[in-house]
Amino acid sequence: MPASQVRSEWKSYVELQIEPAGWQAMWKIPRVICEDLKLRYPTIVFGYVEQVIFDELKAVFTVTAVQDQDVHLPESNEVSLIELWPTLQQENSALNVDTTAECIDRLRFFYSHVWMPWDKDYDDDRDWVQMHLQARIQLACDLSKNRLPRPLALHMRTLLMEARYIQQRLEYLELDMSDAEAESDDEAVELNDNTTDPPRKQPKTGGSPKSNNLNKSMLPVTDLMCLHLRLAIIRSEFEILENPEMRRAYSELQSNGLKRHLLQRSPGRLSQLDEQVDHKQMCHVVTVPCELQTQIALLKLAEQRVKPDIKVQLGNTLQDVLSISQANEDIFISPGHHTIKFLEHLNDNGSIQGLVEAESVIGSKHDLDKLPLICSSDEDSTLLVIDGDYTLAQLVLDCRHVRRGILLRNGTLTLRSCRLLGDGRSSTQEAIVCMPEASLNLQDCLLENFAIGISMRAETSAKLNNVKIRKCNTGLELLDQSAKLELLGHNCNFHTCNLGILADGIPLPNSSEKSLAIKHFSELQRYNESNWLGNCTFNNCLRNIRAFNETEQLLAKRTHQNLLLEELDGENKENIN
C-alpha cells in the first residue's frame, strides 16, 4: 500500500465507526492556533460536532462553552478529529459515543506515533506499510516502555515533537498564504471592473498597495523555507534512528564518545565508569575565554564555594560537563553565555551555580553578558528537566528560544538568586511547570516576560520568598486545590501582569458562576486555608486574582486534568507509568 492510500483506508474505517453528527466533545486547541490567537496553552473548549468530514478526517465543530470568558472563538470551526475528545455524557443518549471515542483514540495513536509529517511526500511506487508500519509501532512501544537508552529516547521524542509542531505551523502558514492570494485575486478583479475610474497618485513614501502586500507576504515565505529545511533535517536523522540496528549503533557511538572524552580528561574516571563503582565526589568549574586576571578572580570565588576535600575539574563548556558529570556533583559557571542541548535529567542533590554575587543577577541594571547565562538552541522545547532534588543559584536562564524554561517532574528544585527571561510575545511560553508530587523553593528570584510564570498541577507544593513575577500574562497558576503554596515573608510581588494568580477548581459560593475576580490573596485563602498560606502584593496588574469554578465534566478515556498534562507526556522526557 503506498503512502497516498493510507488516508483512504482510514476514511473507510472511520465512516463505519464514528457518528456522523450531533455528538458532544471537548476540543483541545492546537498550540499554533493558541499562539496566533494569543490564547494560553492548553485551551480546552466544549461543543458539539455539526458534521464529520470523512474525506479529510476532520469535523465541523460548534463551540458552545468556554471556561475563560476572555477566550473569543468563531462559533463554527473546522478541526481535526484527533483534536476532539467525546464526552461520556451526551444529550442524545441514542448515539454510540463509546465506539466513536474508541475510533478517535485509534486514529489519534496512529497520527501521533506512527504516521510522520513527511510520509505524505512518499513515492507511490514504495510500499509504505511494509517499510514502516511494524517498525514504527515497535518504536512507539519501546519509547512507551522505556526500552531505549534514556538519552536516545529523549532525543527521539524531541525530534518527533518538533516535527509535528513544524507540520502544524506549515499547514497554518500555507492556509494564511492561500487566503492572502484569494484576497489579492478579488482585489485584482475589482480593479479591472473599475478601469474607467481616473487613476489616483500614490504617495512616494507609502508605496503602492501591491508592493505593501508583497512585503507583508515575504515573512511567511521565509518562514516556510526555514520550516521545510528544518523538517528535512529531522527526517534524515529520524529515518536513520527508525532502524533498530542503527539505533543500537547510535547508542554505542555515544557511549564510546563519552569514554574517549573521559579518557582524555581523566583516565581514572574511565575505569570507574566501566566498573560501575562509586567514586569520590567531584565538582566542575566552567569558564568562558577571558583575560588571565579575570580567570584568577573567578577561581578565587570558586574556592570560597567549593566544599572542603572535594576534587575540582576544569571544563571546556557546560554542555561537555553535563555529559560527563555525575548527577550529584556541583557545577560552577563563569559569567557569559553557556549554550546547552541537554537530553538528560538533573537530580540527586547536584547543582549549577554562577560565579557572581547574588545581588547582581536580580538587578535589572546589569548587562546580561556579564552574568552567568544558560540558553538553549531554537528547536528545544524545554531548557532544563529536573526529576530529583537539585539546586540552581546565581544564574540567568534565557528561555526566549524555548517553549518552557524548567520542567520539574519530581523531587525538590531550589532556585536562589535566579532570573528567568521569556520572549514577551508568546501566549504559550511557561517559565516553570511543576508536575504532581514535585516541590519548588524560590528565594530572591525574578521571572519576567512569560505567558505563564509558574504552573502548579495537582499534589505539587511551592515556597516563594522575595520572588518577583512581572510582565507575564498569568503570573501563577494553581490548577488544583491540592496544590500547596506558601508565600514567605510577605514580600512576593506580581507586577504588570495581565493576571496575577489563576486558581482553578474552586467551589465558588454561586455554583452557576464560571469565575470570580478577587483583589487580595487573603480573600483567595478563604477557599483553601490549609494549602494556601502567606501573602503577596500586586502592582499594575489588570486583574490580581481570578478563581474558576470547579468542573465535573467527564471525558472519554481521559479527565480534564489528563488533557492539561498530555502535552508534557510526549515532550523531552521519560514516560512515568
Residue 243 belongs to some domain of the structure: no
* Helical H segments across 18-149, by residue range: 31-37, 97-109, 128, 134-144
**3-class DSSP state for residue 352?**
strand
Cell 502548579 sits at which residue?
A: 456
Residue 74 belongs to some domain of the structure: yes
Q: What is the pLDDT of residue 26?
A: 93
Angle at which helix 209-241 crosses helix 244-265, to 10 degrees, equals 90
The x, y and z cell numbers of residue 269, run together, are: 574516571
Residue 157 belongs to some domain of the structure: no
Which of 75, 100, 115 is a domain's end point?
115
Residue 223 belongs to some domain of the structure: no
- The DSSP symbol for 126 reads S
| Alpha carbons 87 and 560: distance in angstroms, whole number | 11
| Alpha carbons 85 and 553: distance in angstroms, whole number | 12
Q: What is the pLDDT of residue 558?
A: 42
Start-to-end C-alpha separation, the chain = 35
For 14, the domain range is 3-115
Q: What is the pLDDT of residue 569?
A: 54
| Alpha carbons 178 and 283: distance in angstroms, whole number | 56
**3-class DSSP state for residue 447?**
strand
Segments of the chain with pLDDT less than 50: 196-218, 265, 269-270, 272-278, 552-560, 572-577
Could you tell me if 525 and 519 are in contact, meaning their C-beta atoms sit under 8 angstroms apart? no
Residue 165 belongs to some domain of the structure: no
- The DSSP symbol for 281 reads -
* CB proximity list for 95: less than 8 A, separation 6 or greater: 19, 22, 23
Residue 16 belongs to some domain of the structure: yes
Could you tell me if 329 and 366 are in contact, meaning their C-beta atoms sit under 8 angstroms apart? no
Which of 60, 87, 115 is a domain's end point?
115
Q: What is the DSSP string of 307-325?
A: PTT-EEEEES-HHHHHHHS
Could you tell me if 17 and 99 are in contact, meaning their C-beta atoms sit under 8 angstroms apart? yes
Residue 268 belongs to some domain of the structure: no
Residue 247 belongs to some domain of the structure: no
Q: What is the pLDDT of residue 208?
A: 38
Q: What's the pTM value of the predicted model, to 2 decimals?
A: 0.78
Q: What is the pLDDT of residue 576?
A: 32
How many angstroms from the chain centroid is the CA of residue 224? Answer: 22
Q: What is the DSSP string of 459-503?
A: T-EEEEEEEEEES-SEEEEE-STT-EEEEEEEEEEEES-SEEEEE
What domain count does the chain have?
Answer: 2
What digits encode the pLDDT tens for the residues 487-541? 998 899 999 999 999 998 887 776 667 788 999 999 999 988 899 999 999 999 9
| Alpha carbons 388 and 350: distance in angstroms, whole number | 9
Could you tell me if 454 and 431 are in contact, meaning their C-beta atoms sit under 8 angstroms apart? yes
Radius of gyration for the alpha carbons in the chain, expressed in angstroms and rounded: 27
Could you tell me if 573 and 529 are in contact, meaning their C-beta atoms sit under 8 angstroms apart? no
Could you tell me if 373 and 338 are in contact, meaning their C-beta atoms sit under 8 angstroms apart? yes
| Alpha carbons 103 and 37: distance in angstroms, whole number | 30
The x, y and z cell numbers of residue 110, run together, are: 496512529
**3-class DSSP state for residue 529?**
coil
| Alpha carbons 490 and 39: distance in angstroms, whole number | 31
| Alpha carbons 424 and 392: distance in angstroms, whole number | 23
* CB proximity list for 193: less than 8 A, separation 6 or greater: none
| Alpha carbons 119 and 116: distance in angstroms, whole number | 5
Closest Cα partner for 64 from 78, 74, 79?
Answer: 74
Q: Is 561 exposed, middle or buried (0-12, 13-18, 19+ CB in 10 A)?
A: middle
**3-class DSSP state for residue 103?**
helix
Which of 71, 89, 115 is a domain's end point?
115
Taking CA atoms, 528 is separated from 454, 485, 516, 524, in Å, by: 19, 10, 15, 7
* CB proximity list for 224: less than 8 A, separation 6 or greater: 170, 173, 174, 177
Taking CA atoms, 427 is separated from 7, 171, 229, 244, in Å, by: 33, 20, 26, 39
CATH code for position 24: 2.30.30
| Alpha carbons 177 and 220: distance in angstroms, whole number | 8
| Category of 519 on φ-ψ map: left (φ > 0), alpha (ψ -120 to 50) or beta | alpha
Could you tell me if 469 and 497 are in contact, meaning their C-beta atoms sit under 8 angstroms apart? yes
Taking CA atoms, 506 is separated from 87, 115, 509, 524, 547, in Å, by: 22, 40, 9, 10, 6
Q: What is the pLDDT of residue 565?
A: 56
Could you tell me if 432 and 410 are in contact, meaning their C-beta atoms sit under 8 angstroms apart? no
Q: What is the pLDDT of residue 193?
A: 58
